[in-house]
Chains A and B, each alone.
Chain A
């Protein structure tokens, strides 16, 4: 019985040693970087999404409308005072 136990223990130790030594040899050191390069080559370059400027962002939550004459208005349609700005973008 002690002999059988010794043989099983020895076999298990040999098997574990073989596995431990085989692991590094099965994964070449150059393999991982190769896979990384391949993966990054297949990923499209991110496209920058539109980013609101602070002036554009400042318009958040403000009502926009069009007057009966077809001009663009900002703010409450029924605001007590109307300010008309005659201007251009130059």
Chain B
């Protein structure tokens, strides 16, 4: 979603027309796991979308971070979130408190054919691959009719 998400949020989510749900697809090994876990751990403190925004902005940094440095990197980004209980967040990330749920969800999605990303669902309609703002807007407008 990356580039179109801010537009979709402002045009459809903020006015209350659309609810946006994020579901993790774990296709990139440890980096996928650690970033999804960081977002889920922030989510336990109602800051999933804030961490989501940071992670999407810094994909390049994640790629440049070695697997054994990922936890430390996630914790340092957690410190940018106002009001986040850093001790609880660090514990959640280091103890991998959300890992099992994420893996179970990914497995269930794969059974439904969600094996690549991004994939979007709007009702019964499924859109695979990156979408332009125009294509996403057209799909959402059609769903609202």
Binding site for B on A (CB under 8 A): 49-53, 55-56, 58-59, 61-62, 64, 66-67, 69-77, 79-90
Can you report 27 A-B residue pairs in the complex whose CB atoms are below 8 A from each other? A49-B82, A53-B54, A55-B6, A56-B50, A56-B81, A58-B6, A64-B49, A66-B43, A72-B21, A72-B22, A72-B48, A74-B9, A74-B13, A74-B21, A75-B18, A77-B19, A79-B17, A81-B18, A82-B21, A83-B19, A83-B140, A85-B120, A86-B24, A86-B117, A87-B1, A89-B36, A90-B62
Per the 8 Å Cβ criterion, residues 39-90 of B in contact with A are 39-40, 43, 46, 48-50, 52-57, 59, 62-63, 79-82
Closest chain B residue to A72 by CB distance? B48
Cα(A66)–Cα(B44), bound, Å: 10
In contact, A70 and B101 (Cβ under 8 angstroms): yes
Contact of B19 (CB < 8 Å), options: A52, A58, A79, A90 = A79
Question: Hey, which chain B residues are within 8 Å of A81, CB to CB?
Answer: 12, 17-19, 122-123, 140, 143-144
In contact, B13 and A75 (Cβ under 8 angstroms): yes
Closest chain B residue to A58 by CB distance? B6
User: Do A50 and B21 contact each other (CB < 8 Å), given the known contacts A75-B14, A81-B123?
Assistant: no
Closest chain B residue to A73 by CB distance? B21
Most chain B beta-carbon neighbours within 10 Å: one of A49, A51, A85 = A85
- For the complex, is B32 an interface residue (Cβ under 8 Å from A)? yes
In contact, B18 and A89 (Cβ under 8 angstroms): no
Cα(A90)–Cα(B59), bound, Å: 6
Quote the shortest CB–CB distance from A90 to chain B (angstroms): 4
Cα(A31)–Cα(B13), bound, Å: 63
In contact, B62 and A50 (Cβ under 8 angstroms): no
User: Do A89 and B59 contact each other (CB < 8 Å), given the known contacts A53-B54, A59-B53, A62-B13?
Assistant: yes
Question: Hey, which chain A residues are within 8 Å of B57, CB to CB?
Answer: 53, 55
